[in-house]
Amino acid sequence: MGRKSTNNPRSKRRRGPDTRRVRQKPCAFCKAKVEYIDWKDVAVLRKYVSDRGKIRPRRVNGNCPGHQREMAVAIKNAREMALLPYIGSR
């Protein structure tokens, strides 16, 4: 009649350093009350592209889902118009 083992990774009782909750950053576009993310504004879009030319994920940016989608479309349009590179310099 002993306790059950806690080897299940989905166990809700398990607490450790990897299970703590981290407060999410506020969306910069929501805070500034931006309605439209313009693909011609390269200075803003460059902050959301890595040095390799990849679009940074939402968990790194802190954007809300709607603005992250809109930002990704703006970056893709800027790439198409040759304002941003498809890949970074090697």
Tell me: pLDDT of 79 over 70: yes
What does DSSP assign to residue 55?
B
What does the alpha-carbon distance between residue 63 and residue 35 come to, in Å, rounded to a whole number?
A: 14
Tokens of 13: 């009782």
* pLDDT tens, residue by residue, 16-75: 666 667 777 789 999 999 999 999 999 999 999 999 999 999 999 999 999 999 999 999
CATH number of 44's domain? 4.10.640.10
Q: What's the pLDDT at 18?
A: 67
Domain membership flag for residue 32: yes
Whether pLDDT at 9 is above 80: no
Spell out a b/e string for 2-37, using b for 16 or more CB atoms within 10 Å of the CB, else e.
eeeeeeeeeeeeeeeeeeeeeeeeebbbeeeeeeeb
Of 18, 24, 35, the C-alpha closest to 64 is 24
* pLDDT score of 3 more than 90: no
Helix (H, G, I), strand (E, B) or coil at 2: coil
Residue 15: inside a domain: no
Domain that holds residue 44: 25-80
**Number of domains making up the chain:** 1
